[in-house]
Amino acid sequence: MALVGASVIWLRRKRREVDRPYRTLGYPGTPLVFVLISVFFLANTLIHKPVQAYAAIGCMVLKLPFYFLFRKNRRTDI
């Protein structure tokens, strides 16, 4: 979730010319606060429930080969 919040900030800076069909209330503060809270939850889970946290991280890492496999088939002009 933290990466999604960070992507809002990153894409709005990198692709300034793209039309925005929605507005983010309090931008860039709101997405930044969201990222910080998400990172706090991640750190808290790593400290208090490390087995579950590492299992979730492991599942995400196992999905990476599929991401790169299917990414090659995407259009590049988006």
Q: What share of the chain is helix, strand, coil (3-state, %, to 5)?
A: 70, 0, 30
pLDDT top residue among 67 and 72? 67
Q: Are 36 and 5 in contact (CB under 8 A)?
A: no
The answer to whether 31 and 24 are in contact (CB under 8 A) is yes
At 22-65, the pLDDT tens digits run 788 898 899 999 999 999 999 999 999 999 999 999 999 999 99
What whole-number distance in Å separates Cα of residue 54 and Cα of residue 72? 28
Structural domain boundaries in the chain: 2-71
- pLDDT exceeds 60 at position 77: no
Whole-number pLDDT of residue 20: 82
Phi-psi region of 18 (alpha: psi -120 to 50; beta: other; left: phi over 0): beta
Euclidean distance between CA atoms 41 and 7, whole angstroms: 18
